[in-house]
Structure 1
Amino acid sequence: MIPAAPLVALLVTLGFTVPAPASAATATAAATSCYGGAVTVHYGDVLDFGPYWTTSRCNDINMRVVGGDAEYVVACVKFAKTGVCNRWTRVGRTWTTVATDVLDGTKFTVPNGVDLEGSSATIQIAF
């Protein structure tokens, strides 16, 4: 019997594809999921984060605080089509939906004008 590693190497050399182990497939799926495509921004760097265009990865626009000393920020989504914020939402250290059922390809920004609950924050936005 040929050990697994040399057999896989032989099959790849011959042009066969070898499926990834389940754990690797799960990690790959997570990387291409809604949150896997998140952008990281620093609160205070610009007036508005974006513009961004929604993708097929997510049905919603989600945010979370991932760094800094702020426990939360208050955020809204400003859609280019209307130019106004949808609603102000408190966003903490877990993923929070800030806009729901958004069509793919929708242009939006996230205003950065509300005081932090703390002095700094690094935020992720998934869309």
Structure 2
Amino acid sequence: MSTIQPRATPPPATPPPATPSRVPPADRGSTLIADRVVAKIAAQAAREALAAPSGAPPHATVTVHHDIARVRVSLELDYPSDVAAQCAAVRARVARRVEECAQMTVPEVDIEVEHLHSAHTRTAAGRDRRLR
């Protein structure tokens, strides 16, 4: 007579490892954008706002505190021209581009017009350089 051997019982099933819960992208960490990067964005936006910049290219300095950027742009403009309209265009373009590219609020954009260039002063300056 043969004896029937009891089957070995399988080990108890272990629950599958817990899958980590998905963390929303905004809660995974932070992104810091250096002030000098925001300043480059602002200077490029100022260049774009001026149809044909004269003299030196615009220069920007920025102070960032949390997600708020305070921008100062130095420009050289042609004279005669509508200085107020050009400054308003630069202000709007800089604020919009910094908000789009760096996701920062820009409550103010200070404009400093360092030089006004007229056709007369450009030709006179060119003559002075050639004479020396």
Name the structure, 1 or 2, with higher relative contact order (CA <8 Å, separation 6+).
Answer: 1
TM-score range, shorter chain: under 0.3
TM-score by length of 1: 0.22
TM-score by length of 2: 0.21
The structure with more helix, counted as a fraction of residues? 2
**Structure ID, larger Rg:** 2
